[in-house]
Amino acid sequence: MGKLYGIGVGPGDSELLTLKGARLIRECDVIVVPRSGQKVNVAYTIGVGAVPEMKDKNIVEVDMPMTRDKSKLKEAHKNAADTVEGFLREGKDVAFLTLGDPAVYSTYIYVHDIILERGLEAEIVPGVTSFCAVAARLNEGLTEASEGLHILPASYEGLEEALKLKGTKVLMKSGKAMGNVKKLISEMTDKESVRMVERCGMPGERIFNSLEEIDEDASYFSVLVVKER
């Protein structure tokens, strides 16, 4: 029986893929990458940038639609798990590539859980998170001493209350919610320091050093760092 590896390929820069992730990509029989409708498959691009010989392997795309429709997501996760299970039962090891880290808002983790529920083997291989890469790109730390760190999905409910938390707030999945995000932050009593990196480590990367600069039409791959002054 084969084994599934959920490999975090990092946020965009192929050089941030871990040595373990690269080794497993070389060793696995099948490489699975999520297909979300984007013109360029980012996970594949990062993987092949770090491991050029990956392009000669059996590359399998599985549908992971960008939707909040729970029934569609559940079906997509089941279908992806069915595909992976087929290879595992053939005795093949499978590397499932996912952006950032598999444990943080990843498409992979749903497939991981299903595979484990079916009594098969699966392992998480950590990757560099987008917010750590963003902090490095901004050349500053996220927290110091006893400061808290809050990782928030900007496009979901409850953001207004979450922004009141003490410490540094990292807003992920900001894309379509950018207008609302800017509005909420601008209305805060305590003026925060706000910086953002769009497409960190990818072609088209942009850095914004203030709330006013931030483009409301920025892409899905945008991460804001909101810090107390």
Most confidently predicted of 49-58, 189-198, 208-217: 49-58
How does pLDDT run across 31-44, given as a tens digit for each residue?
999 986 666 689 99
Q: What is the DSSP string of the chain?
A: --EEEEEE-BSS-GGGS-HHHHHHHHH-SEEEEEE-S-SS-HHHHHHHHH-GGGGGSEEEEEE--S---HHHHHHHHHHHHHHHHHHHHTT--EEEEESB-TTSS-SHHHHHHHHHHTT-EEEEE----HHHHHHHHHTS-S--TT--EEEEETTSTTHHHHTTSSSEEEEES-GGGHHHHHHHHHT-SSPEEEEEEESTTSTT-EEE-STTT--TT--SSEEEEEEE-
Question: What pLDDT does 39 receive?
Answer: 66
Domain 3-125 in CATH: superfamily?
Answer: Tetrapyrrole methylase, N-terminal domain (3.40.1010.10)
Spatial distance between the Cα atoms of 26 and 165, rounded to a whole number of angstroms: 43
Question: What pLDDT does 190 receive?
Answer: 66
Domains of the chain by residue range: 3-125, 130-228
* Least confident span in 3-7, 89-93, 114-118, 153-157: 153-157
Domain 130-228, second-level architecture: 2-Layer Sandwich (3.30)
Indicate whether 184 pLDDT > 90.
no
Sheet holding 222-228, edge to edge: 149-153, 168-172, 222-228, 192-198, 206-208
Q: Rounded mean pLDDT of 191-212?
A: 90
How does pLDDT run across 72-94, given as a tens digit for each residue?
999 999 999 999 999 999 999 99
Question: What pLDDT does 160 receive?
Answer: 86
- The rounded mean pLDDT for the chain is 91
Band of residue 109 on the pLDDT scale cut at 50, 70, 90: very high
Indicate whether 216 pLDDT > 80.
yes
Q: Rounded mean pLDDT of 35-60?
A: 89
Q: Which long-range contacts (CB under 8 A, 24 or more apart) does 150-159 make?
A: 151/104, 153/105, 154/178, 154/181, 154/224, 159/184
Q: What is the percent of the chain where pLDDT is above 90?
A: 67
Question: What pLDDT does 180 receive?
Answer: 85
CB neighbours of residue 79 within 10 Å: 14
How does pLDDT run across 155-170, given as a tens digit for each residue?
777 888 888 889 999 9
How does pLDDT run across 117-131, given as a tens digit for each residue?
999 999 999 999 999
